[in-house]
A and B are shown apart, each in its own frame.
Chain A
C-alpha cells in the first residue's frame, strides 16, 4: 500500500505509533501525559516505516504484512511547526526505517533538520541515526540536532547477528557510537553558552529480544559509559509482534525494564560500577523484581548500619531511601539530632531506617527487614 491511499491523519497515526516505544526526553517540563503516565515533550515520528532491514523483533521489518507509508520532509516540518506553535511540544524526535541504504535515509533526515532550522526552528531535535551512517553525515547531523545516537539494541556481536542479520555490530553500531561521542565532544566545544544544548551520546536496548541476561546489559552499559560517553541508556521491553520470526517468543515483563532503569540510575548518579551490582543478580544473571538498591544493601550487611553524622557521601548514597540530593542535604545539616530531622530533609525512613543510626540510636535490627 502506498501513501496515496492514506490521509495525512492516518499517516501521522501509523508513523507515530512506530515510535511509541522509543524513549527520549528533555529536561524542560512536560506538556501533557499519556494514559500510561509517560510525559509528552516531543513530536515523535518515523519518516517512513518502509525498511530494508530484517530485524527479527521489529514490526517494520522488510517483508512483513503491514501498512507502509511515509511523510515527506516538508510535511514533518509543517506538523512540527504546527504542534510547536500550539505549545504542545518542545521539539522533534525523528527516527526512520531504512530506505535503500543508511546514507539515503540519513540524507532524508538531514533534509528535515535543515528545513526546520532554516525556517528558524529553535526547538529541541533528537535524531535516531541509522546503523552504518557515514561519518561525514553524522557530523552534519550534529550541526543541526541537539541529540543523536545509534540504537545498540543488544549487548554483543553474536546476539546482534541473531536479531539484526543485515548489520554488523562492531562496524555499524560500535564504530558509529564512537563517532557520535567524538562529534558530541567537538560540538560542545563549538557551541557557546546560550546557543543551544548538545546532549550526550544515547542508545536504546531491546530488552529480552535475544535472551540476554540483565547482567550482560548492565556490563554493556558500563562499557559504553567508559568508551562512548553514554550518559543515559533507554530500554524497550521486547513485545512479540505478529508476523515476525520472534512472534512465538514470550514477551519480556515490563518490570524488567523498570528495574534496568533503576540500575542505570545507580550507575549514572550513584557512582556504582557494573561489578558492584553482580551481587544482586540471580544465578542466571537476571535482576529479581525488587528494588536493586535495597537488594544491594542486603547483600552488604557488614557495611551497615551507618551513622548519619559520620558517614561519608559515598556511604550515605548506599543507604536505600537516600539519594544524591538527600545525601548532600545531610552533609550540610550535620549534626542530625533525630529521625524527624531526617524525614524533613527528605530521607525515606520507611526504607532507610534499618540501615542507619542517629546519635548511636538504632530503631530496628537489620535482620528484621531481610525479607
Chain B
C-alpha cells in the first residue's frame, strides 16, 4: 500500500497514525498537493491512497497535546511543545519527512515522548528544530531593511525554509508601509493590501519590483555607521569575545553585519584616507 502525505504538520501527524495502522505501507511525501500528486502518479499497479483517506482527522488527544509547552529549566529558556518541535524540524533543509513520520509512529499514541530525546533520531530532529529556530531568530536580529521612499527593502537567503515566518514577522514590525523582500531569486511584497492586492503577502515579479523601487536602494547608512563607531570603547577591545558573539557564519545575513564583523576583527580605523588628503 502506498500512502501519500503532505510535508506539513497536519500531513505528518496523519501519516504517523496511518503508518501505525498499516506498518507495511510505503510512505510518499510531497511538499505541496501538486508535487504529491505528481509523485503518486508514478506508482502503478499498487494501492495508492492519500493519507486523508486513511486517517480522516488527526486524533483529538494528539491535537489537544500538540501545543502544550513543557516547562523550561530556566526563565530565559524557551519551553518546548510537540507542535513547535515538528514545525521547525520540518522546515530544516536536512529533514527527511519519512524518517520523522517513522519516529512519530514508533511513539504513537504517546507522541510527546519524542521530546524526551531517548533515541538518536529524536535527538537529531531536536537539533534540527533548534537550528531552524536559530536561523529565524538570527534573521530577525540581523537583517537590515533599506528605506526606499516610503517603502522598505531587504534581501534574505535563508538555508532553511523560514522565509514565510520571517516575512510575517517583518510585516508586523513595519505594519504601516509596504516592505519588499528578495528571498533567493524571488520577490515578495508585504503589507500588500495597501497597494491594491487582496492578500498581505504576495509574490511579485522582478519587473514589478523594479517598477515600484526604480533601482535597488543603496545599503549604506551614515547615521548607523556613526552611531556604531561611537559606541566602541577602544581600550576595552575584546576581539575574541566579540567574534564569538557575532560569528562569521552569520555574515551572510546582511551587508551591515559583514561590515561590523570586519570592524570586530580589524578594529575601528582611527584615520581614513580623507584625513590625509585634507
Task: Provide the bound-state CA to CA distance between A34 and B77, in Å.
Answer: 25
A20 contacts B by Cβ under 8 Å: yes
Which of B230, B233, B236 is A12 in contact with, Cβ under 8 Å?
Answer: B230
B242→A37 contact, CB < 8 A: yes
- Please, which residue of chain B has its CB at the minimum distance from the CB of A14? B230
Task: Provide the bound-state CA to CA distance between A57 and B221, in Å.
Answer: 34
Task: Provide the bound-state CA to CA distance between A164 and B229, in Å.
Answer: 30
B229→A40 contact, CB < 8 A: no
Chain A hits for B137, CB < 8 A: 29
Which residues of B in the span 116-154 have a Cβ within 8 Å of any Cβ on A? 137, 140-147, 152, 154
- Please, which residue of chain B has its CB at the minimum distance from the CB of A237? B236
B230→A33 contact, CB < 8 A: no
A40→B145 contact, CB < 8 A: no
A2 contacts B by Cβ under 8 Å: no
A32→B142 contact, CB < 8 A: yes
B263 contacts A by Cβ under 8 Å: yes
B228 contacts A by Cβ under 8 Å: yes
Task: Provide the bound-state CA to CA distance between A8 and B221, in Å.
Answer: 13
Which of B74, B144, B147, B174 is A325 in contact with, Cβ under 8 Å?
Answer: B74
Q: A31-B142, A32-B142 are in contact. Are A86 and B227 (CB under 8 A)?
A: no
Which residues of B in the span 219-244 have a Cβ within 8 Å of any Cβ on A? 221-224, 226-233, 236-239, 241-242
Q: A30-B245, A88-B144 are in contact. Are A9 and B223 (CB under 8 A)?
A: yes
Closest Cβ of chain A: how far from B254's Cβ, in Å? 9
A32→B246 contact, CB < 8 A: yes
- Please, which residue of chain B has its CB at the minimum distance from the CB of A83? B224
A13→B226 contact, CB < 8 A: yes
> Interface majority SS on A: helix, strand, loop or mixed?
mixed
A38 contacts B by Cβ under 8 Å: yes
B73 contacts A by Cβ under 8 Å: yes
Task: Provide the bound-state CA to CA distance between A184 and B63, in Å.
Answer: 41
Which of A44, A79, A82 is B147 in contact with, Cβ under 8 Å?
Answer: A82
B161 contacts A by Cβ under 8 Å: no
Chain A hits for B230, CB < 8 A: 12-13, 16-17, 20
Closest Cβ of chain B: how far from A253's Cβ, in Å? 12
B264 contacts A by Cβ under 8 Å: yes
Task: Provide the bound-state CA to CA distance between A20 and B231, in Å.
Answer: 5
Q: A37-B238, A37-B245 are in contact. Are A82 and B232 (CB under 8 A)?
A: no
- Please, which residue of chain B has its CB at the minimum distance from the CB of A119? B176
Q: A88-B256, A332-B73 are in contact. Are A32 and B233 (CB under 8 A)?
A: no
- Please, which residue of chain A has its CB at the minimum distance from the CB of B229? A13
Chain B hits for A9, CB < 8 A: 222-223, 226
- Which 4 A-B pairs give the minimum distances between C-beta atoms? A325-B74, A16-B230, A37-B241, A37-B242
List 10 A-B residue pairs with CB atoms under 8 Å apart, sorted by A's residue number.
A9-B223, A31-B142, A32-B256, A34-B232, A35-B237, A35-B238, A35-B242, A82-B221, A85-B145, A86-B145
